[in-house]
A and B are shown apart, each in its own frame.
Chain A
């Protein structure tokens, strides 16, 4: 399921490149526009624009191109993730693991009440192919939508070149723990990020008795994270049944407002992140959580959250990948928060 697929599980079987509907490059901006069901996507030098029908009118919403591409990069890289991926307060996707809702205004309290919202459901390969085509066309040379702003060039201007390498990074899937035989690799080949130059690069000592070589396994997790070449991208580093440790390095703003269909937990490993928490359905503010090194807290299943990290920081995202959880939370069998005390 979603981005937290474990290594060895099959990815989406078909990639529906032939289902992508796009226009000719615009003579001025050079960008193509795209159609997905009743949604229309276009961009110009500054903005990505989404249009949809509601109450007999065409409705329009613009998002700055850099923010839009950062959000779409995560949605694509995560395979639509868990639950709701809000690009902003209007537009986003909801994963049904095989199908995906695309919505505008459906989780904005005011727009929903006014009836100007719209949702359409697509087979995952169709929306994935369309979103990837948009990313390819709209990401210019020199802009890496996976990077923090200080690390990359501008998303703005007319179409100039592309950045296929940045948006085609392979997802890290881990069966048990990185560095084990037949599992995901360590990151010794990647450079230490400029913000983690002071992070120790020593490895643990492993002393196996004769006959047990290869059965003991340890690695420097903080070193591994210091070499992460992307921001806000949870990647699995240990697997205990359905319990997945998915640490990531964070800088600037989480490009989406994530509303999960289950409880997840955050443990701040270094530095500091501030989380804006809103109601999952309406977006109304609920809380602002400040987490420093060693802090651990739950994100309940009825909220959406967006993180801010001034210095690149290390965050452990902890997920429970059990497949039937969304139904159990929606039915009320499970409360939205994980512990009562």
Chain B
């Protein structure tokens, strides 16, 4: 790499630089602008904070720190580690979850499927009907693709530019 090659700038919980909105006409609130690292840093560990909402679908930000509860969901979800290491353990549930939008808490009764270890920028499938649990040795930010559900936390006024 030559010195003229610019560095690729990623964010992290302890190092992000939020952008902003210069409004000519209208209301800055309509852009629903937040920063996922700021949101994850300011929330309880594994609190699933909605940072994007498109009708019934959501993008959630969470801070992984220590071990989470077990979650399950009746549809596929996805997780991306945005800045660090997180382990995801999977269990094939004996009794699949009832059909519902979004994740719910689960009892991990079933066979162990294995685990994945995600680093920065790594994405994992969270398959429909499995239970999953996160463990993070150090705090890191997660991005979740799901539907608005019982565990989704909406606190737009706290997180968005206005």
Do A and B form a real pair?
yes
| Nearest-neighbor residue (CB-CB) of A212 within chain B | B113
Question: Which residue in chain A gives the minimum CB-CB distance to B118?
Answer: A204
With A219-B122, A339-B156 known as contacts, the answer to whether A204 contacts B116 (CB < 8 A) is yes
State A219–B16 Cα separation when bound (angstroms). Answer: 24
B127 within 8 A of partner (CB):
yes
Q: Of the 9-residue stretches A68-76, A98-106, A112-120, A232-240, which lies at the interface with chain B?
A: A232-240
Q: Is there an interface contact between A204 and B122, defined as CB atoms closer than 8 Å?
A: yes
Q: Among A216, A237, A239, A311, which residue has the most Cβ atoms of chain B within 10 A? A: A216
Q: Which of A194, A217, A292, A318 contacts B9 (CB 8 A)?
A: A292
Contact between A240 and B147, CB atoms less than 8 A apart: yes
- A122 contacts B by Cβ under 8 Å: no
Partner of A320, one of B28, B55, B122: B55
Inter-chain contact B1/A293, CB cutoff 8 Å:
no
The reply to whether A200 and B119 form a contact with Cβ atoms under 8 Å apart is yes
- Beta-carbon contact of A298 and B19 below 8 Å: no
Interface check B3, CB cutoff 8 A: no
In the complex, how many angstroms separate the beta carbon of B144 from the nearest chain A beta carbon?
10
Whether B160 is near chain A, meaning CB under 8 Å from some CB there, is: yes
State how many residues of chain B have any CB contact under 8 Å with chain A: 70
Q: Is A327 an interface residue (CB 8 A)?
A: no
CB proximity to B under 8 Å, residues A197-244: 197-200, 202-209, 211-212, 215-223, 237-243
Chain B residues proximal to chain A, CB less than 8 Å? 1, 5-11, 16-26, 28-38, 51-55, 57, 59, 75-78, 80, 82, 90, 92, 111-125, 127, 141, 143, 145-147, 156-157, 160, 162
A-B contact pairs, 26 of them (CB 8 A): A177-B123, A195-B6, A198-B5, A203-B122, A204-B122, A212-B111, A218-B124, A238-B78, A243-B54, A245-B78, A265-B52, A269-B10, A270-B10, A272-B9, A285-B25, A286-B26, A287-B21, A292-B9, A293-B9, A293-B16, A295-B19, A298-B31, A299-B31, A300-B31, A318-B52, A338-B55
